Amino acid sequence: MSEKQTPPPLTPARRSSGPPEHPKGVVDEKRLLHDIKRLSANTKGRWVVRGHLSRMKPDNLADHTLHAVEHTFNGLVTREGVRFYWLRNNDFVVSFSITSADSVRAALVKVRFLFAHDPLMDQPAAHGVESDSLATWYRLDNDHGLLLKDIQQLVQSHRAPSMGTPRRHLRQNSDPGSIRRGAPLTAAMLSRVESALMGADLSSHIRRQAVCAMVGRAAPDPVFTEVFVSINDLRETMLPHVDLASNPWLFQHLTQTLDRRVLAMLTRRDDKTLNQGFSINLNVSTILSDDFLRFDDSLSPGSHGTVVLEVRSEDIFADLNAFFFARDFVRQRGYRLCVDGLNWRTLPFVDPTRLGVDLMKLSWSDDLPNVLRSAEGDAASAVLARTGQGKIILARCDDEKAVQFGQGQGIRLFQGRYIDRITKPYLLL
């Protein structure tokens, strides 16, 4: 863990045009000051992190989002004895021992996800550096005196609190090449399949797979759950001797039908496992359809930010104007956007800032480490180096080697069968 030599002072944010003071700030600041004084006799192995939410646009600090930030740390408070405090300017402070450092890093990845739309998230830290635009790290055995002085000044300078109101569901099980080959898909076959799908119960073909924040040895921390249709299972049920992906144009048409069916299922909200946030893989044309509008209307106010819409890179570049229109449409409603289906060859062509997306999903393969170390993979390596933490998901992680490699590249979000296996024991706790 790198050490921040001269952390910035804990000065209060200007309040003239910002959001209301946090309702817990008065009590929490006093509690924080008391606890920091008490720790003066035992600073070894103790750290403090301050999250600079006051640096964000006030419109992004809605009450439900601030509640989600606190909820992110609640598990660590219960399980690991981490202490969480609000400041009146909506910053937060976390106090913890060195053994919980990786868990706190993972929680900060989730905070970055919550505020992915804010310009502050476009200022990534250099790989290996702890303090950045979002969070400042303090090592108490070196910085205790400075931290105590800054908190005292902060508490004294704050005015009294105001009395105002406080404020692709579609995905193959593995690479396309792994699907058993069969007879080519024809238009007549597609017509029969689509007719069957419109009245079929897809619940047995729906799969769920969590995207988790993983930092060091900390337990996997689910950020959201991807909902998708198992193409292999669907094929075995409906057309066991047909290669559904043999004709990309007909297959694309099939995915649009599946889009509508899965959106209808999500609109009914039968699945209780999706209350904490989920992602679905949609075609651009589906996002601009009436089916999506009905789905959008079914979401409760304030919950759009917990839904990630995944769009395949080839669908984006097939019609950029249509994508940009769809992007602006969903971002106005608060959805997150993820570019899906990237590999080391296509990664250099995707600039998340220019495309206006929040996340990119890179597929793991056994040869990825060697490729990125070669001249051929220089462009992809450069993208990984300059992309902010929490913006890249390493998908299809089937073994520990994938996670170890991803963490070495600064990646914090992972998805795959290996993640599923190691997450289940924690979900039972």
Q: What is the pLDDT of residue 170?
A: 43
Query: 128: which DSSP letter?
Result: T
Q: What is the pLDDT of residue 282?
A: 94
Residue 303 has pLDDT above 50, yes or no: yes
pLDDT, mean of residues 406-424: 91
Q: Residue 306: which residues within 8 A CB-CB, separation 6 or more?
A: 224, 276, 277, 278
Output b/e per residue, 21-55; b: 16+ Cβ within 10 A.
bbbbbbebbeebbeebeebeeebeebbbbbbbbbb
pLDDT digits (tens, 9 = 90+) for 118-134: 888 877 554 444 678 88
> Which of the residue ranges 54-63, 165-174, 280-289 has the most confident prediction, judged by mean pLDDT?
280-289
Residue 242 has pLDDT above 70, yes or no: yes
| Single-letter amino acid, residue 286 | T
pLDDT, mean of residues 23-52: 87
E strand or H helix that includes residue 245: none
Residue 348 has pLDDT above 70, yes or no: yes
Q: What is the pLDDT of residue 256?
A: 82
pLDDT band at 102 (very low <50, low <70, confident <90, very high): very high
CA 90 to chain centre: 21
Residue 408 has pLDDT above 80, yes or no: yes
Distance, in Å, from the CA atom of 414 to the CA atom of 226, rounded to the nearest integer, reads: 12
Structure tokens at 118: 């804010």
Hey, is 133 helix, strand or coil?
A: coil
Nearest to 138 by CA among 49, 73, 51, 52: 49
Q: What is the pLDDT of residue 177?
A: 40
Residue 420 has pLDDT above 50, yes or no: yes
- Tokens 């997306």 belong to 357
Hey, is 384 helix, strand or coil?
A: helix
How many of the other CB atoms lie within 10 Å of CB of 427?
Answer: 10
pLDDT, mean of residues 357-379: 93
Distance, in Å, from the CA atom of 47 to the CA atom of 101, rounded to the nearest integer, reads: 8
Residue 285 has pLDDT above 50, yes or no: yes
pLDDT band at 358 (very low <50, low <70, confident <90, very high): very high
User: 178: burial class by Cβ within 10 Å (0-12, 13-18, 19+)?
Assistant: exposed
The mean predicted confidence, pLDDT, of the chain is: 81
Residue 6 has pLDDT above 60, yes or no: no
pLDDT band at 229 (very low <50, low <70, confident <90, very high): confident
Distance, in Å, from the CA atom of 79 to the CA atom of 104, rounded to the nearest integer, reads: 12
Residue 178 has pLDDT above 80, yes or no: no
Q: What is the pTM of this model?
A: 0.71
CA 374 to chain centre: 29
Q: Residue 331: which residues within 8 A CB-CB, separation 6 or more?
A: 117, 337, 356
pLDDT band at 2 (very low <50, low <70, confident <90, very high): very low
Residue 252 has pLDDT above 90, yes or no: no
132-136, 148-152, 158-162: segment of lowest average pLDDT: 158-162
| Torsion from C-alpha of 92, 97, 100, 105, nearest 10 degrees | 40
137-141, 184-188, 369-373: segment of lowest average pLDDT: 184-188
Distance, in Å, from the CA atom of 340 to the CA atom of 361, rounded to the nearest integer, reads: 5
Q: What is the pLDDT of residue 324?
A: 94
CA 427 to chain centre: 19
Residue 328 backbone phi and psi in degrees, to 5: -60, -35
Residue 25 has pLDDT above 60, yes or no: yes
pLDDT, mean of residues 306-335: 92
pLDDT, mean of residues 332-342: 93
pLDDT band at 298 (very low <50, low <70, confident <90, very high): confident
Output b/e per residue, 326-335; b: 16+ Cβ within 10 A.
bbeebbeebb
- Using N-to-C axis directions, what is the helix angle for 25-38 and 140-157, rounded to 10°? 150
Q: What is the pLDDT of residue 4?
A: 38
Residue 10 has pLDDT above 60, yes or no: no
Q: Residue 172: which residues within 8 A CB-CB, separation 6 or more?
A: 178, 179, 231, 232, 245
pLDDT band at 143 (very low <50, low <70, confident <90, very high): confident
